[in-house]
Amino acid sequence: TDQATANIAPASTTEESDANGANKISDWSAQQLNMEDLTLLCDLFYLPFEHGTQGVHILQEFYWLHTNAHLVASDENKPEVIEWKEREKKLEEMSNNVNRLFQKLNAINNKELMYELYPYVWEMRAVISTLNSYIKWLGGGTSGHSSDSPAIGNYTWFSKGWKESFMSGEQEPWVFRGGLTADLQRLIPVDGGSDLFVYKVPQVVSSTIYTIREYIDFDKDQVTDLNNLTTSSTESNPDHLERLVECVLRLNPKLCFVVEEKIEGQDKPHLAGYAIAISNILNHSSAVEEDDNGLEPWAKDILKCCIAGAKPHHPSIIMSAIHPTVTDQSVSKRLIICLLAALRSNGSCGVFTPVSASNSQQLDSYSKLGFVEMSRDESGRTVYLGRVF
């Protein structure tokens, strides 16, 4: 559009004799929208009955990477594994391109245009970033098994007849529920998780980038600190649930994610949240009882309390927290979506979490993520919340 082209950087800049001046021009140019950015923007929001070239490419790459994730377990020198890794990098590059587009749009001088586009690009960026995070987790080879369908039970872009119905133009656009953004969301292998895609656009425009990645040992102290910040540690909490995360991390769970917050202008991101799960915790009951498992009595008591809360339809335990300073409501939901998708790939479709009945903040946080009360312990001090997906 004419409004957008006013913010396009020139194809080249005049030579400057002063090196500092040249650097300033270079920095300025890097922050401006260029033709590639506008092409990407148009492809992401193309036509009512047709996705743009790059939008379709993102759909196809995620679908291929997900359905062929089982290849990662093979010899890394095999051609098919090399191809998978190369395509994984391409998807990450596309995700980074959308991140840059998001930040550039937020910096344009035409604020009226920026406010108009912000909700759409903000949501698109979040969905593509979530897909990329899930694929990177699959690339680590920790998936239990791979499905032939990227979204079991869902009607997706790759379902028979969907693409043809969409592009025929015979249906009203609203029938397809949200264009490319919705088609990308439907690829995430979580049935019954539509509530996790409902969130308000931040009231304050921000260029902060939230990225979900797999947990590493280096994150342990930050995760523990965040857990201590968000759980209550009082005499009225005899089960010491504030140390549950510490206990679970000792079991070396394979299903762990953290979310990093990268604020524009800062060199390094910092940890803003975590989500941890153990698939079917009942399988760990014998290990908890062993004398040589390295667990202190208090740790065993906490884990026994957790195991007692497991139900046939809610066998996997989950723990999650977001730093109180994070105001973007979508961050906690996207983090949980990633973890639930990882659980789904390991054969689990139901989760639960124990929460202190006196911790109203935690109870409210899990409620917003679709968790409901299932039961309580004998004392009534521990509430077991659960949800299926």
Residue range 121-146, pLDDT digits in tens? 999 999 999 999 999 999 987 665 44
Give yes or no: residues 199 and 155 share one domain: no
Give yes or no: residues 127 and 259 share one domain: no
Candidates 161, 171, 271; CA nearest to 213 is 271
How much is the pLDDT for 160?
A: 63
Give yes or no: residues 94 and 59 share one domain: yes
Whether residue 15 is predicted with pLDDT greater than 50 in this model: the reply is no
Candidates 99, 62, 68, 98; CA nearest to 81 is 68
Whether residue 6 is predicted with pLDDT greater than 50 in this model: the reply is no
For residues 197 and 126, the model is more confident at 126
Whether residue 1 is predicted with pLDDT greater than 50 in this model: the reply is no
Contacts of residue 262, Cβ cutoff 8 Å, sequence gap at least 6: 208, 209, 210, 211, 269
For residue 34, the domain's CATH number is: 1.20.58.240
For residue 304, the domain's CATH number is: 3.40.630.30
How much is the pLDDT for 198?
A: 86
What is the per-residue burial (b if ≥16 Cβ within 10 Å, else e) of 62-83? bbebbebbebbeeeeeeeebee
**Tokens linked to 261:** 């917050």
Name the pLDDT band for 76 (thresholds 50, 70, 90). Answer: confident
Give yes or no: residues 173 and 34 share one domain: yes
**What is the tens place of the pLDDT at every residue in 138-176?**
998 766 544 444 444 466 666 665 555 655 555 555 544
Q: Specify the residue for token string 């497991």.
A: 310
- Domains: count for the chain: 2
How much is the pLDDT for 210?
A: 96
Give yes or no: residues 166 and 228 share one domain: no
For residues 92 and 358, the model is more confident at 92
Give yes or no: residues 72 and 152 share one domain: yes
Last residue of a domain, one of 145, 169, 189: 189
> Which of 177-181, 205-209, 250-254 has the highest average model confidence (pLDDT)?
205-209
Last residue of a domain, one of 189, 212, 241: 189
Measured CA to CA, the distance from residue 58 to residue 26 in angstroms comes to 30
**Percent of the chain with pLDDT strictly greater than 90:** 51
Give yes or no: residues 176 and 216 share one domain: no
Give yes or no: residues 204 and 289 share one domain: yes
> What is the DSSP-derived secondary structure letter of residue 376?
E
Whether residue 255 is predicted with pLDDT greater than 90 in this model: the reply is yes
Give yes or no: residues 148 and 70 share one domain: yes
Domain that holds residue 239: 193-389
Measured CA to CA, the distance from residue 35 to residue 137 in angstroms comes to 33
Give yes or no: residues 108 and 251 share one domain: no
For residues 14 and 20, the model is more confident at 20
Give yes or no: residues 182 and 197 share one domain: no
Whether residue 264 is predicted with pLDDT greater than 90 in this model: the reply is no
Measured CA to CA, the distance from residue 184 to residue 149 in angstroms comes to 14
Name the pLDDT band for 25 (thresholds 50, 70, 90). Answer: very low
Q: What is the mean pLDDT of the chain?
A: 83
Give yes or no: residues 146 and 210 share one domain: no
**What is the tens place of the pLDDT at every residue in 282-313?**
887 776 777 666 678 888 888 888 888 899 99
Q: How many CB atoms lie within 10 A of CB 59?
A: 22
How much is the pLDDT for 298?
A: 80
**What is the tens place of the pLDDT at every residue in 100-109?**
999 999 999 9
In a 3-state reduction of DSSP, which class is residue 201?
A: coil
Q: What are phi and psi of 101, to 5 degrees?
A: -60, -45
**Percent of the chain with pLDDT strictly greater than 70:** 79
How much is the pLDDT for 353?
A: 96
Last residue of a domain, one of 189, 224, 245: 189
